[in-house]
A and B are shown apart, each in its own frame.
Chain A
């Protein structure tokens, strides 16, 4: 070979090698081009409804003329001997939850919120969502029997079983009007028919209480309302019949009537991954089905150490048919002259004033607030001291950027104004719902806050100075339902920009958002000076050449 030929050969083989290397680099990085990668299919769930070995219509015990729902329970327990014991050990029954390191006992029985504030002294109304019958005062847990467990609220498949809103957990046994004066009649359900058609809980069973928390459809959570009974895929990919077609209990995988996935003990960062087919971890996490690296795009999977799945995949809450309540001002209650007999509606037909409850603000399609969250939330219990100067947080999610269990997580922030005792510095327990027909001390009967607080606090066994005032309080509601289709998830640029979604989240460097202001200032100044320098230099050269 001549030297020219050899050189040429070397040159072309070099070019070929370079092309090969570049194409390899392209292939390696090609994954980044894929947007909105579809997650790998979750393991198929067996629809067990069809698998039952029992036809409840054939059981003689259920072919009765039931006069009271407790009789149905007694019939159930003839075969399901352990069911009531299991339910009575669950949070659904006790409304109690151990408060972790605080040593307090949480659960609805003890905590305060800024919706209807407290269960104490308001039992018959609040306990219409208790999984039992007859919790009408604070003696209930001393006397309750297994027959008082409500099987039907969870296991009715007919959709006709309804607990009366002010019946302490019982359904109506004769036609009754609620709310009083509304003309809305609650018919007694056909208990035998319902008892013969029991099955596994569907979305409507859970939703009967959980969609209506806070006293109405969509009021409380923001990520749960009646839309979720059978939502369009855009609202919730999991529960939608057009989507995964799951029911609540597929994730809230219940064993012996203990339902996992409580808001009191969450797992925002599941490092265990898939729980199927063997559940040995919290089964309600995304990772339990989707695993630890669910996205095709490797760069997206790089985010899962610090960003919860919910943050990107639930771009907004209250995306169903209903708005959610964002503000509730009790201090404005009591004015029957406002609106139509004390009820005002906005242009959407949403009630923004109710003389019984005060002023509300509703929103749909709400952008969440993002916080570091490790799954622990501290809750305020009845009688806990507050700092009237501070923002009063009724609950507070824990976690920070250096917490290995924490991830950035979406929340609904709910604010309101409620009564407090400026002398004792505690939030007040209001007696809202009358104990009985003769009771006029309840606010919704006598409309006197002083009496309502006095009776509420006395019933709770707490000191009341006799003075009350109003104070703004804040509550955080974790957003985890209403997962949107992948193509509607947040895109890179939603966070990676100077005013990105996570701009308020401390302790995390986000390219495109966080920045390095000092280096930027120095860098742009020096680059500008360099540019100025060459322009001046060029000008001087032109000038000197002209002179020459």
Chain B
């Protein structure tokens, strides 16, 4: 099959993605230990690194938000329900019949409708819940000063629920990277920036939106 190289992920985007991946994995491993799901590093070490990873993620989010808005990349996350049905049908049946992927990636529109919805949910729902509850948990002794009369257990239960959502996202997300043109083509693209896509898939940039 004839292929074409398209430049999908800029250097900052790749750096951001992998930093975020590392931090989230670190937060998951340390976080579930802090929660008491298992004992490996010891509570103190787990807690200490959980807080460090958390602050690092906050810093990364600040930079990523700046990047999204200054580069216009945020437009990739404008949600659309158009063709969601087609996408679902592809992943639940077409993929087993070796049908071509119904979504044509391009430099200007690199996320399919399912990705748009999922990542947007991640960015405006799950991540803010986790970051907000996380910061609150660090500073729970100051709640009375801030006029907050919340229960530690309630805030931590939200944090935990968010963590499980990320865990499920992580499982499905990692798996979905293998459903590209080849098993590793998606991951490779996120490493080098370029993705090999079938010639006919590379829709003209103008027609992508």
**Do the beta carbons of B153 and A26 come within 8 Å of each other?**
no
Interface size on B, residues (CB 8 A): 47
Interchain CB contact (< 8 A) of B171 among A28, A514, A527: A527
**Do the beta carbons of B164 and A519 come within 8 Å of each other?**
yes
A488, CB-defined interface residue at 8 Å: no
- CA of A22 to CA of B62, assembled, Å: 11
Interchain CB contact (< 8 A) of B47 among A26, A492, A514, A534: A492
- CA of A460 to CA of B56, assembled, Å: 71
**Do the beta carbons of B164 and A526 come within 8 Å of each other?**
yes
A500 to chain B, nearest CB (A): 9
Residue interface bits B152-177, CB-to-A below 8 A is 1, else 0:
11001100110110011001100100
B48, CB-defined interface residue at 8 Å: yes
Residues of chain B contacted by A526 (CB below 8 angstroms):
164, 168
Contacts A26-B52, A35-B44 given: A544-B97 contact, CB under 8 Å? yes
B75, CB-defined interface residue at 8 Å: no
**Do the beta carbons of B141 and A305 come within 8 Å of each other?**
yes
**Do the beta carbons of B153 and A516 come within 8 Å of each other?**
yes
Residues of chain B contacted by A548 (CB below 8 angstroms):
98
**Residues 48-91 of B at the A interface (beta carbon under 8 Å):** 48, 51-52, 55-56, 58-60, 62-63, 67, 91
**Do the beta carbons of A25 and B59 come within 8 Å of each other?**
yes
**Do the beta carbons of B36 and A496 come within 8 Å of each other?**
yes
- CA of A545 to CA of B179, assembled, Å: 12
A268 to chain B, nearest CB (A): 18
The stretch of A88-96, A125-133, A505-513 that contacts the partner chain: A505-513
A370 to chain B, nearest CB (A): 18
B205 to chain A, nearest CB (A): 19
B4, CB-defined interface residue at 8 Å: no
**Do the beta carbons of B52 and A29 come within 8 Å of each other?**
yes
Interchain CB contact (< 8 A) of A519 among B42, B95, B161: B161
The stretch of A11-19, A55-63, A272-280 that contacts the partner chain: A11-19
- CA of A522 to CA of B152, assembled, Å: 20
**Do the beta carbons of B51 and A29 come within 8 Å of each other?**
yes
**Do the beta carbons of B96 and A534 come within 8 Å of each other?**
no
**Residues 31-50 of B at the A interface (beta carbon under 8 Å):** 33-37, 39, 42-44, 47-48
Task: Give chain B's interface secondary structure class.
Answer: helix
Contacts A493-B44, A544-B97 given: A512-B35 contact, CB under 8 Å? yes
Interchain CB contact (< 8 A) of A14 among B12, B51, B167: B12
The stretch of A104-112, A177-185, A352-360, A535-543 that contacts the partner chain: A535-543
Interchain CB contact (< 8 A) of A541 among B51, B59, B96, B157: B96
Contacts A25-B59, A523-B161 given: A11-B12 contact, CB under 8 Å? yes
**Do the beta carbons of B168 and A538 come within 8 Å of each other?**
no
CB nearest to A35 among chain B residues: B44
Task: Give chain A's interface secondary structure class.
Answer: helix
Residue interface bits A17-51, CB-to-B below 8 A is 1, else 0:
11001101110110011010000000000000000
B151, CB-defined interface residue at 8 Å: yes
Residues of chain B contacted by A493 (CB below 8 angstroms):
39, 42-44
B45 to chain A, nearest CB (A): 9
B5, CB-defined interface residue at 8 Å: no
A515, CB-defined interface residue at 8 Å: yes
A144, CB-defined interface residue at 8 Å: no
B72 to chain A, nearest CB (A): 15
- CA of A503 to CA of B160, assembled, Å: 20
Contacts A21-B59, A513-B36 given: A32-B47 contact, CB under 8 Å? yes
B178, CB-defined interface residue at 8 Å: yes
Of the listed residues B34, B35, B167, the one surrounded by the most CB atoms of chain A closer than 10 A to its CB is: B35
Residue interface bits A65-89, CB-to-B below 8 A is 1, else 0:
0000000000000000000000000
Residues of chain A contacted by B91 (CB below 8 angstroms):
537
**Do the beta carbons of B160 and A519 come within 8 Å of each other?**
yes
A304 to chain B, nearest CB (A): 9
A398, CB-defined interface residue at 8 Å: no
**Do the beta carbons of A511 and B34 come within 8 Å of each other?**
yes
A302, CB-defined interface residue at 8 Å: yes
A399, CB-defined interface residue at 8 Å: no
**Do the beta carbons of A497 and B43 come within 8 Å of each other?**
yes
Interchain CB contact (< 8 A) of B178 among A491, A512, A514, A538: A538
Residues of chain A contacted by B59 (CB below 8 angstroms):
18, 21-22, 24-25
**Do the beta carbons of B175 and A538 come within 8 Å of each other?**
yes
B181, CB-defined interface residue at 8 Å: no
CB nearest to B67 among chain A residues: A14
Residues of chain B contacted by A520 (CB below 8 angstroms):
37, 160
B122, CB-defined interface residue at 8 Å: no
B102 to chain A, nearest CB (A): 16
B94 to chain A, nearest CB (A): 10
Residues of chain B contacted by A498 (CB below 8 angstroms):
36
Contacts A530-B168, A534-B175 given: A519-B157 contact, CB under 8 Å? yes
B119, CB-defined interface residue at 8 Å: no
**Do the beta carbons of B164 and A515 come within 8 Å of each other?**
no
CB nearest to A516 among chain B residues: B157
Of the listed residues A28, A305, A496, the one surrounded by the most CB atoms of chain B closer than 10 A to its CB is: A496
Of the listed residues B43, B55, B56, B168, the one surrounded by the most CB atoms of chain A closer than 10 A to its CB is: B43
B87 to chain A, nearest CB (A): 14
A246 to chain B, nearest CB (A): 30
**Do the beta carbons of B48 and A511 come within 8 Å of each other?**
no
B9, CB-defined interface residue at 8 Å: no
Contacts A14-B63, A305-B141, A515-B35 given: A492-B43 contact, CB under 8 Å? yes
16 example contacts (A-B, Cβ-Cβ < 8 A) are as follows: A11-B11, A14-B12, A15-B15, A18-B63, A25-B58, A491-B43, A496-B43, A511-B36, A523-B164, A527-B171, A530-B171, A531-B171, A538-B178, A541-B96, A543-B96, A544-B95
- Which of B's residues lie within 8 Å of A, judged by CB? 11-12, 15, 33-37, 39, 42-44, 47-48, 51-52, 55-56, 58-60, 62-63, 67, 91, 95-98, 140-141, 151-153, 156-157, 160-161, 163-164, 167-168, 171-172, 175, 178-179
8 closest residue pairs by CB, A with B: A523-B164, A25-B55, A534-B175, A512-B36, A544-B96, A509-B153, A21-B59, A493-B43
New contact pairs (18) apart from A496-B43, A496-B47, A511-B34, CB-CB < 8 Å: A14-B12, A15-B15, A22-B56, A24-B59, A25-B52, A25-B56, A28-B55, A32-B47, A33-B48, A305-B141, A492-B42, A497-B43, A512-B34, A516-B157, A523-B161, A527-B168, A530-B172, A537-B91
